[in-house]
Amino acid sequence: MTLQEIHLQISQHYQRMNSGLVMSVEPGELDLVINRVIEQMILSAASNLDKFTPANSQRATTLQAISPLVKTVSYPKTAITLGSRYTKTVSTIQAPADFYHFIDSGTTVYCNGGQRVLQSKFINNPVNYLSSHFTLLSGNDLPAFLENNILYFVTAGRFIIDSIDLNYIKQPVKVQLGTIENGFITIEPEIEQSFHEMLIINSVNLVNSSIYETTNSDARSNRA
């Protein structure tokens, strides 16, 4: 489905939900809604990935849905820096310019001359986790976290990292419907067709909630 078709479907769905009322939202405003919904959907998908093990079928389905946004970048030893963070020995790499979200258990870390292969395990709150303890989360999990576009892999002096295959979700493009104002330039969404129906429904719900909030705000202002 093209972005123009998505705009049309949102408008038609809005009319069905609102007893034939025509949606009074400009194309540029609707693009903002769609971009916000896409971001929310990707964050939700990433959260689901964090919950599932690599063998889980739901994880495979989620990865398929966001497959246009999944990338892998290899880092040789020369691109890895040894350092310290929160009193723990760490190896660091610069996150890619288009980095958006870490795929938990999706990054492979080769250690000790390739004799040990670990999977990264993302930590949402490294300060609390690392200040209290450090253990491998399982036999092959290596804690990792992101700060200021730097990815930290917590080896605690137990491993020497030789290379890293970073698996991540890249920044989604901002969609834009071609109009006279933007010179008829259309930027299509980077999501699978399986996401489109959800995108349309969530966009209509967001438009409805925004109009509801605006109406209530105007009513409060008039009473004042």
Please determine, for residue 215, whether its predicted confidence score (pLDDT) is greater than 50: no
Please determine, for residue 212, whether its predicted confidence score (pLDDT) is greater than 70: no
Report which of residues 86 and 60 the model is more confident about.
86
DSSP 187: B
Q: Is residue 55 part of a domain?
A: yes
Q: Where are the alpha helices (DSSP H) in the chain?
A: 3-17, 27-51, 57-65, 126-132, 196-223
Q: Is residue 85 part of a domain?
A: yes
Residue 126's domain comprises: 70-170
Please tell me the pTM assigned to this model.
0.77
Please determine, for residue 177, whether its predicted confidence score (pLDDT) is greater than 90: yes
In one-letter notation, the amino acid at residue 132 is S
Q: Is residue 223 part of a domain?
A: no
11 and 48 part of one domain: yes
85 and 155 part of one domain: yes
DSSP 149: T
**Stretch 126-140: mean pLDDT, rounded?**
67
Quick one: tokens of 121? 């395990």
Q: What are the tens digits of pLDDT across the range 77-98?
A: 999 999 998 888 899 999 999 9
Quick one: tokens of 1? 């489905």
Q: Please, which pLDDT band fits residue 211 given cuts at 50, 70 and 90?
A: low
105 and 132 part of one domain: yes
102 and 165 part of one domain: yes
**Stretch 185-192: mean pLDDT, rounded?**
90
CB within 8 A of 216, min separation 6: which ones? none
114 and 156 part of one domain: yes
193 and 164 part of one domain: no
Report the range out of 20-29, 163-172, 213-222 with the highest average pLDDT. 163-172
90 and 147 part of one domain: yes
As for how many domains the chain has, the answer is 2
Lowest mean pLDDT of 45-54, 79-88, 143-152, 190-199, name the range. Answer: 45-54
Report which of residues 171 and 221 the model is more confident about.
171
Q: Is residue 133 part of a domain?
A: yes
- Closest Cα to residue 120, out of 155, 94, 74, 85? 155
- Cα separation, 36 vs 33, in Å, equals 5
55 and 83 part of one domain: no
pLDDT score, position 23: 84
105 and 195 part of one domain: no
57 and 77 part of one domain: no
Q: Identify the domain boundary among 137, 154, 170.
A: 170
Q: Please, which pLDDT band fits residue 10 given cuts at 50, 70 and 90?
A: very high
